[in-house]
Amino acid sequence: MSSSQDIQRRIVELEVEHRDLDLVIDMLTQSGRHDELQLRRLKKRKLQLKDNIMLLKMQLIPDIPA
């Protein structure tokens, strides 16, 4: 089982990659010279990163007794 520090570190890594992808997507769309397939793949990867970040953040939240 991962420690909360490991999870937080991974979240930061994924958030950095997410922001980087955001910048790349913006640059490609602004340049007007982009491959639609490449753009779709980048956007899909960005969504996967967002989902992974959310799953990791949920692991940091302690279970609340019912």
- Model pLDDT for residues 2-45, shown as the tens digit of each residue: 699 999 999 999 999 999 999 999 999 998 877 899 999 999 99
* Residue 19 belongs to some domain of the structure: yes
Give the Cβ contact number of residue 49 at 10 Å.
20
User: How many domains does the chain contain in total?
Assistant: 1
Q: C-alpha 63: how far from its chain's center?
A: 24
Give the total residue count for the chain: 66
Q: How far apart are the first and last CA of the chain?
A: 24
* Residue 55 belongs to some domain of the structure: yes
* Backbone Cα Rg of the chain: 16
Rounded (10°) CA dihedral 49, 33, 35, 28? 0
Predicted TM-score (pTM) of this structure? 0.82
* Residue 66 belongs to some domain of the structure: no
Structural domain for 28, as ranges: 4-60
Q: Tell me which amino acid residue 43 is.
A: K
* Residue 65 belongs to some domain of the structure: no
